[in-house]
Chains A and B, each alone.
Chain A
Amino acid sequence: MLNLLNVTFMGILRLIPSGIGEGLAWGILALGVYISFRVLDVADMSVDGTLALGGVVTAVLVANGTNVVLAILISVISGAVAGAITGLMHTKLKIPAILSGILMMFALYSVNIHIMSGKSNVSLLKQPTLLNLLSDWLQIDRSVINIIVFALFAALVIAAIYWFFGTKLGSAIRATGCNLQMARAQGIDTDSKVIIGLAISNGLAALAGSLIAQKDSNATVDMASGAIVIGLASIVIGELIFKKNLPFWAKLAGVIVGSIIYRLIIMLALQMPFAETYDMKLITAILLVLAMSVTVIKKRHHKKEAKHA
């Protein structure tokens, strides 16, 4: 028994680096989801398509000899364009946000296969991806490089979002998300703000997809299945740990921390002798329900206390 515990414990310790790498890469997606769901208050499901789009575009470009930095850039732009189209469908064609997103996700499935010239996956094994190049150049193990690169990207993205939402345009987008009618009354063109917000959100999802494809050395048409739930889980866990009245940048960092913790919890759960790998979705769902209900329970508790006082 002790031996078994020992094996499990050591196994978990060894898994932590891969969990952190995984959490950081998917954390960038969570930041994208945070912008649409929390800042903009639009339930956008396109990320399930744009994440794969980012991965697929990077994989195809790198496999055909394009510089990886350029490939990442093009991936982000393609994701942003897709996001903007979702925004156009929602604002100009008045299609409900959820449906616009789902339609975009649907359409991108075919588009992604087209980009891969009819195949459903493109391998990046031994290709000059950012991670492989750095790992060769610095002679550092891939799992360590993953963490360093993804952490840098996450920090960069947080800094960029923090700066952008402080600008005039960024503030207008936040106002649009806060109260659409009021923002409009203030003379803000809310439609264009929603479109720009969704472009940023999906650009980030594509960036995450690009990094995940490089981490996995593979891009597949189904690599993003369930991405939206993964993003939401990270946000909710982050919000649970980080208090509400924190500055904006700390909230963004909280999303990344939430994503890492989500991965570590899943990893821990998978190491338990009673859990099977196909329980991953069930564990995620339970985790989300728990995390979300804690806030409600806390609120009720506060109300009771307030009554007693």
Chain B
Amino acid sequence: MKKLFAIVIVATLLAVSIVILVGCNQADINVEIIQFGNFDALNSAAEGFTQRLEDWANEQGKTIHFEERNANATASNVAPSVQSAIANQPDLIYAIATPCAVNAAGNTTDIPVLYTAVTNPTGEGLVGQDNVYGTSDMNPVALQIELIKDLVPNVKKIAFLFCSSETNSVVQVGMAKVQCALMKIDTKDFAVSSASEIAQVVASIGEDFDAIYIPTDNMLANSISTVASANTHNIPLIVGEAGMIAGGGWATLSINYKLLGAQTAEIAIKLLSGQQVSDAERHQMYKGALELVISEDAKTALGLTSEQVTALQQKYGE
């Protein structure tokens, strides 16, 4: 009886997996998308990519299937997602954010891996591997510091808030410090190692700071509302990307991740239509226009007139 039961279970599992496998391979083109977390920026990067590729596939009269996987912002979920993506032998893998890109590139040398939302592809070792292509989302850190100066003209001291285990953030904070040194602004690091510490670390930022700066940091993007509500001194909160504004960030100059995704899709189109991708095109920086985003609350708090906002938009829009 037990044996029979076991056989039935195994048979069902086999049948289910065969159905799933067959179901996957019906389209002309199969793309595996591995996204690190469910953040606005990364969602936009996925959307821009899939939209552009779908449009192209329609023009070509081909069908395209996207298998989307999400690691839910957990490092230990990345490897299994990548493994199952590779097991499906797709035409290409689209890896969104550094952990996914690094893992995908490390696990396949034949399937093309296209990355995006990676700040420092050279530092992560993505440059120099034959099957790896992509776009960097290197944040306009220096310009964002300049924006702080525009919004808080007498800024003297900036607090950097970031997660100490995210390389992307550490690199950006380093760049921000260089810019601050040029502008003669003092800085102090407030590094956080887990989400449960954020409220207390933010509370420990003294009134003598004129601004708080958060780079494109995954953990802090996730907890941006915690930061905003612990910021009792109402210190201007300048953030690395527009996704953090809805959660309580004040202002940012931001890369448009949807355009970045579409830019990455252009490389994918070249690959899928068998064209040569030149070395110069392999690893690209963001080419679109920057967006100035300021929350309504911040405009009131900073006393910005609509003319001032327009002037800033013109300054950074190019």
- CB within 8 Å of B: which residues of A? 7, 11, 14-15, 18-19, 22, 109, 113, 118-121, 123-125, 142-143, 215-218, 220-227, 230, 263, 266-267, 270-271, 276-278, 280-281
Contact = CB atoms under 8 A, between A and B. Distances in A.
B17 interface: no
B194 A226 contact: yes
B206 A7 contact: yes
Nearest to B219: A222
Contacts of A215: 199, 229
Interface in B241-276: 246-248
Contact of A280 (B193, B222, B223, B228): B193
B109 interface: no
A121 B219 CA distance: 10
Nearest to A109: B74
A255 B299 CA distance: 44
Contacts of B201: 270, 277, 280
Contact of B225 (A120, A216, A222): A216
Interface string B196-218: 11111101101110000000000
Contacts of B198: 216
Nearest to A275: B204
A11 B72 contact: no
Contacts, number: 118
B177 to A, nearest CB: 15
A5 to B, nearest CB: 14
Contacts of A266: 200
Interface stretch (B50-58, B119-127, B184-192, B306-314): B184-192
A19 B203 CA distance: 9
Interface in B287-301: none
A232 to B, nearest CB: 14
A263 B219 CA distance: 22
Contacts of B191: 276-278
B77 to A, nearest CB: 10
B193 A278 contact: yes
A118 B164 CA distance: 26
Contact of A226 (B37, B192, B196, B248): B196
A263 B197 CA distance: 11
B232 interface: yes
Contacts of A109: 74
Contact of B204 (A221, A223, A277): A277
Contacts of A142: 229, 232
Residue with the greatest number of chain B CB neighbours at <10 A, chosen from A124, A217, A227, A271: A217
B231 to A, nearest CB: 11
A278 B192 contact: yes
B37 A120 contact: yes
Given A18-B203, A120-B38, A277 B195 contact: no
Interface of B: 37-38, 70, 72-74, 164, 189-201, 203-204, 206-208, 219, 222-226, 228-230, 232, 246-248
Contact of A120 (B190, B200, B222): B222
The 10 closest A-B pairs by CB, nearest first: A218-B225, A217-B229, A123-B225, A216-B226, A222-B195, A18-B203, A225-B194, A218-B226, A278-B191, A278-B164
A224 B38 contact: no
Counting chain B CB atoms within 10 Å of each CB, the highest count among A119, A216, A281 belongs to A216
17 contacts: A7-B206, A7-B208, A14-B206, A19-B203, A120-B73, A123-B247, A143-B232, A217-B229, A217-B248, A220-B195, A222-B222, A225-B194, A225-B195, A277-B197, A280-B200, A280-B201, A281-B194
Contacts of A230: 196
A217 B206 CA distance: 21
Given A217-B225, A218-B225, A14 B190 contact: no
Nearest to A119: B38
A24 to B, nearest CB: 13
Nearest to A11: B206
Contacts of B224: 123, 218
Contacts of B72: 113, 118, 120, 221
Residue with the highest number of chain A CB atoms closer than 10 Å, among B198, B206, B225: B225
Given A11-B206, A118-B70, A220-B222, A18 B232 contact: yes
A123 B246 contact: yes
Nearest to A26: B196
Contact of A267 (B38, B192, B195, B200): B200
B43 to A, nearest CB: 10
A223 B38 contact: no
Contact of A224 (B74, B164, B196): B196
Given A7-B208, A18-B203, A216-B223, 17 more contacts: A15-B204, A120-B37, A120-B73, A120-B222, A121-B225, A142-B232, A216-B230, A218-B224, A222-B73, A222-B195, A222-B196, A222-B222, A224-B196, A225-B196, A267-B203, A271-B204, A277-B192
Nearest to A117: B38
A119 B35 CA distance: 12
Contacts of B207: 11, 14
A124 B230 CA distance: 13
Nearest to A229: B196
Contacts of A123: 224-225, 246-248
B199 A270 contact: no
Contacts of A222: 73, 194-196, 219, 222
Contacts of B248: 123, 125, 217
